[in-house]
Structure 1
Amino acid sequence: MTGEPIRVLLVDDDPLVRAGLRLMLRGAPDVDVVGEAADGADVPDAVRRHTPDVILMDVRMPHLDGIAATRALSSRTGRPPKVIVLTTFDADATVIEALRAGAVGYLVKHTPPEQIVEGVRRAAAGEPVLSPGVARALISHVTEGTDSRTRQAHDRLARLTEREREVAVAVADGRSNAEIARLLHLSVGAVKLHISSALAKLDLTNRTQLAVLAHDARRHPG
C-alpha cells in the first residue's frame, strides 16, 4: 500500500450496522470509508463510483447475497477490491462458500473494533483475514464433503510443480510468507513468486482460495 488511506466500501442491508462500522473505522487515520451499499446488487455501481480497496460485505441481503456479489467481483478483469465477508456465525458454511467465491476472509460482526480495523489493513495488503486455527476449523467444517470435489481439487493441484504444491500446502496451514520461506529454505520473494504462479495456473484470485483447494486435495486418498 502507498501512503494513501485504505478506501473501504460498506455493504450491508442494515443501516445501523453500516453506521456502526463507519463510526468504528473513522478512528483509524489510515482508513477512509468512501461509500455504502444496501444490497449486493448495488455493489458493481458502488465499486465503479468509489473505487474501494477493501469491501466489508454482509452475507445475507434481500436481493443479491454477498457470496454472489463477491463472485461477480472476482470475475472482473484488473484488480478487484479485496472482500472481507461479514457474518453473524463464525462456523457458517456460507462463509467458506464466500471464500471459494473470492473473499480474502471473514469477520464476525461482534469482532472487537481494533481487530476489524486490522483486518481491513491485512486485506488491503493482500493477506488473508483468518487466523491459522480458525482457517483450519472453518475449512475442515465444509471440506469433509464430497469425494468428487476432493478428486477435482487433487487433479487441479496436480497442475502445479512440486515446489508450488509444497508452498500451497504451507499456505493451507496458515503460514505467513516468512514462515514458508524458512520451512522450505526459500527467499520470501521466491515464495511470493510460487504463490503468484500457482494462482495463475489454477485461475484463483487470492491465497485463501489456494488454501481451500489445498485442504480439499489433502483429503484425497492418493
Structure 2
Amino acid sequence: MTITVAIADDQAIVRAGLRVILETSPDIEVVGEASDGHEAVELVRAKRPDVICMDIRMPGLDGISATRTITADPQNTTGVLMLTTFELDDYVFGALEAGASGFLLKGADEESLLDAIRSVARGDGTLDQRLTRRVLVEFANRTAGPRRPPTSPAVPLTARETEILTLLCEGLSTSEIGERLFVESTTVKYHVAGILTKTGARDRLQAAVWAFRNGVVSVPR
C-alpha cells in the first residue's frame, strides 16, 4: 500500500531534499508541498495525505499551531510528523500537546525518516530515539502539577492494557513489549488497538500523552 505524504517547510531547499529522499522509497508518494503553516493546513484539507512532515518554525503560522488546527478537525486522518533542527523540550512538548503523532530531528538518517513516516502512517507514532524516554518522563513531570480529575475511557482498560500502556510510556516498541511480557507481537498489537479505541487516542504516542496527562500511568523511573 502506498503512503501519501505532504511536506511543510519554509525552506525550498529542505523541501526539495525531503522529496528526493522520500521518492526513493517505492511505498511513499509525495502529494504536495507547503511553505508555511497556513499552506500546510490547506494542503491537508485538499489532499488528505496519510502523513505530513511538518517543520516547527515557519513564518505566519508555525508548525505547532498548524498541527493543532489539523488535529482539531474531526474529519482529519492525517498523522503529523514534526521535523526540526531543535532538540529543545518546549518544542517537543508543544508538538505533543498539539496532537503530533511523531517527532524527529532533521539530523536523522534517511532510513530513520522513512521508518518514522511508516510508523506514523500505521498509527504507531514515533519519537526520535535520542528523545523518547527523557521527553516522556519530562512531559509527565510538567503535567504532574495540580491534576484535574482523570478522564476515564468509555470502557475501562483491562489489567493487561494498562500494563502495555505503561510500557508504551517507557518508549518500548511492539517487539520489545512482546519480549518483556513473553507474548507475540500480534497480541501486543491487539491490546494496543483496544487502548486506542478506549482512550480515543489516534496513535500510541498520543495514548502515552493521555496516560500521563490523566495520571493513569505513573512517571517511569
Q: TM-score, normalised by structure 2?
A: 0.82
Specify the SS of the correspondent of 2:73. Answer: coil
| Aligned with residue 109 of structure 1, among 106, 114, 125 | 106
Deviation at 1:37, TM superposition (A): 0.8
Conserved 8 A contact 1:167-1:191: yes
Structure with bigger helix share is 1
1:87·1:107 contact (CA, 8 Å) conserved in 2? yes
Change (3 A) 1:137 1:44: same
For 1:167-207, what per-residue CA distance to the aligned partner results, in whole angstroms no more than 9, with x for missing partners?
A: 11011122223333443455544433432332233332211
Q: Secondary structure at the match of 1:77?
A: coil
Match of 2:191 among 194, 206, 218: 194
Q: Structure 1: any 5+ residue segments left out of the alignment?
A: none
After TM superposition, where is structure 1 displaced by more than 6 Å over at least 4 residues in a row? none
User: 2:105, 2:128 within 8 Å by CA — same for their partners in 1?
Assistant: no
Which residue does the alignment assign to 1:58? 55
Alignment correspondent of 1:206: 203
Pair 1:170 & 2:163 matched = no
Alignment-derived partner of residue 122 in structure 1:
119
CA distance in 2, matches of 1:166, 1:104: 21
* CA–CA distance in structure 2, aligned partners of residues 27 and 208 of structure 1: 27
SS of the residue aligned with 1:148?
Answer: coil
What is residue 155 of structure 1 aligned with on the other side?
150
Paired-residue identity, %: 38
Q: CA deviation at 1:156?
A: 3.5
Shift of 1:40: 1.6
CA contact (8 A) 2:48 2:77 kept: no
Find the residue that maps to 2:58 and give its secondary structure.
coil
Count residues with an aligned counterpart.
Answer: 215
For 1:107 and 1:131, locate their aligned partners in 2 and report how far apart those are by CA, in whole Å: 5
> For the Cα contact (< 8 Å) 1:132–1:173, is it kept in 2?
no
Q: Secondary structure at the match of 1:175?
A: coil
Deviation larger for 129-138 or 11-20: 129-138
**Pair 1:28–1:22, CA change in 2 (3 A):** same
Residues 116-157 of structure 1: CA distance to partner in whole angstroms, max 9, x if unpaired? 2222222222233225563111222333225436x34x8236
Aligned to 2:11: 14
- Gapped runs of 5+ residues in structure 2? none
Q: What value does the CA root-mean-square deviation take over the aligned residues?
A: 2.7
Corresponding residue of 1:40: 37
Cα distance in 1 for residues equivalent to 2:173 and 2:152: 20
- Matching residue of 1:27: 24
Distance in 2 separating the partners of 1:19 and 1:147: 41
TM-score (norm 1): 0.81
